[in-house]
Amino acid sequence: MHGVVVGLHVNPEGGVPKHPVEHLRVETKGCVGDKQNDVRYHGGPTRAVCLMEHRIMTMLQEQGHPIGPGTTGENLLVDGLPAGSLEPGTVLQVGSSMMRITTDAPPCKTIRASFSNHEFKALSHKQTKGVTRWYAEVLEEATVNLGDPVSIISGDEPVGSR
């Protein structure tokens, strides 16, 4: 099960939109160059990276929403993973980094401009399972690049140094 990194985004001032970059250093404390304005709900070791599947963005665009890369605060935009393959506990190898999905990233009003009629809950795992962004903890720090492969690591494989 392989995918690819198709977008990397940060905002050094915090908030959205996040701006495209070609390389992104992911660390246990978060993404270098990306500020979190509300640390009650964003950032920290269990929410170090926010990622989204490109197919979810495309689906929302086809429904008429003006969502685009970085507009909902994702740091990583990935493509090519099987539908339904991401959930809490899923371990991903992204380039030479490793991360584990910890939880969905519930939508909030700060991303409402990305949705027709400000319907930001269209990106809610509670409303539609899997239609969400995901938070991940970083297990192995590294620099992620556009085009890096994304692999789902099976639960039988050890997690750690590779």
Task: List pLDDT tens digits, range 32-60.
Answer: 999 988 777 778 999 999 999 999 999 99
pTM score: 0.92
CA distance 136 to 102: 5
In a domain, 138, yes or no: yes
102 contacts: CB under 8 Å, gap ≥ 6: 46, 47, 88, 135, 136, 137
**CA proximity to 76, closest of 37, 33, 18:** 18
In a domain, 121, yes or no: yes
The pLDDT of residue 20 is above 60: yes
pLDDT at site 159: 47
Distance of CA 96 to the CA centre of its chain: 17
CA distance 88 to 33: 25
Are 148 and 94 contacting, i.e. CB atoms less than 8 angstroms apart? yes
pLDDT at site 154: 66
CA distance 110 to 123: 13
In a domain, 151, yes or no: no
In a domain, 14, yes or no: yes
The pLDDT of residue 157 is above 50: no
The pLDDT of residue 63 is above 60: yes
In a domain, 157, yes or no: no
84 contacts: CB under 8 Å, gap ≥ 6: 130
Q: How many domains does the chain have?
A: 1
pLDDT at site 158: 44
In a domain, 97, yes or no: no
Structural domain range at position 24: 2-74+106-143
Q: What is the pLDDT of residues 108-149, one digit of tens each?
A: 999 999 999 999 999 999 999 999 999 999 999 999 999 999
In a domain, 128, yes or no: yes
Q: 3-state class of 134 per DSSP?
A: strand
For 58, the enclosing helix (H) or strand (E) is helix 54-62
Q: How far is CA 47 from CA 35, 75, 91, 151, in A?
A: 13, 11, 14, 20
**pLDDT mean over 84-109:** 96
Q: 3-state class of 63 per DSSP?
A: coil
Average pLDDT, the chain: 93
In a domain, 63, yes or no: yes
